[in-house]
Amino acid sequence: MKKELKIKVCGMKFPDNMAAVSTLPVDMLGFIFYPPSKRYIGNILPKEGVRLFNTSKEKVGVFVNEKSEVIISFIKKFRLNSIQLHGDESPEYCRQLKSTGIKAVKAFRVNETFDFETTSAYLNTVDLFLFDTKAEQPGGTGEKFDWQVLENYHYSTPFLLSGGIQPEDTGEIKQISHPMLYGVDLNSGFEDEPGLKNIGKLEAFIKILKQ
């Protein structure tokens, strides 16, 4: 029997929308603490911070080359369960943060020539990897990489699949047989505008994926 994939919905920005997403069978909600992102939550935190993080789902803070003390302060302030490191963070930096007891995810930007041996230095420093589409700057492109290259990943750290996943991709995702595929990371393909998730699209996608 094939294992059930975890569902992460990233780029939550609006409290009411977050509450609606929380009613769905999702496992993780991502909150972006990277100022250049269209889904950056910093400008709404003072007023809506408490409501935005009021969920029983696993709360993932997404950071890019941030100072570790800043990340730790946000972990405490918003009771984050996990952190996702989406920049050029070193293995030692990841190890330092994980030693605080937080669950850690390290993102890698993947294209058809990506060398998965790059991930080996991080094997004991984080809990999960996330494979996203390579772009010039950190953050989502809304485009997919060639998922067949996942066959070149041979390590034991589980990974989330990210990068341009669309509502119609359930069939192709269900065909991925990689034993370390842990779940999918959903973002722009399920939005009405940056940060505002379309509940109907998410609900339909998750229902089909879990069949």
Q: 10, 94, 169, 185: which one is catalytic? A: 10
Backbone angles phi, psi at 179, to 5 degrees: -65, -20
Report the DSSP pairing between strands 159-161 and 58-63: unpaired
The pair of three-digit structure tokens given for residue 25, joined into one six-digit string: 């069978």
Contacts of 94 (CB under 8 A, 6+ apart): 85, 104, 106, 122, 125, 126
Alpha-carbon dihedral 158, 161, 37, 121, rounded to 10 degrees:
40
- Please tell me the number of Cα atoms within 13 Å of 72 on its side-chain side: 11
Nearest to 127 by CA among 92, 101, 145: 101
Residue 115 among the catalytic residues: no
Among 82, 91, 88, smallest CA distance to 108 is for 88
- Determine the Cα–Cα distance for residues 167 and 176; give it in Å rounded to an integer: 16
Decide if 146 is catalytic.
Answer: no
Rounded to 5 degrees, what are φ and ψ at 58? -65, 125
DSSP state of 68: H
Of 94, 132, 169, 185, the active-site residue reads: 132
Catalytic positions, written as ranges? 10, 132
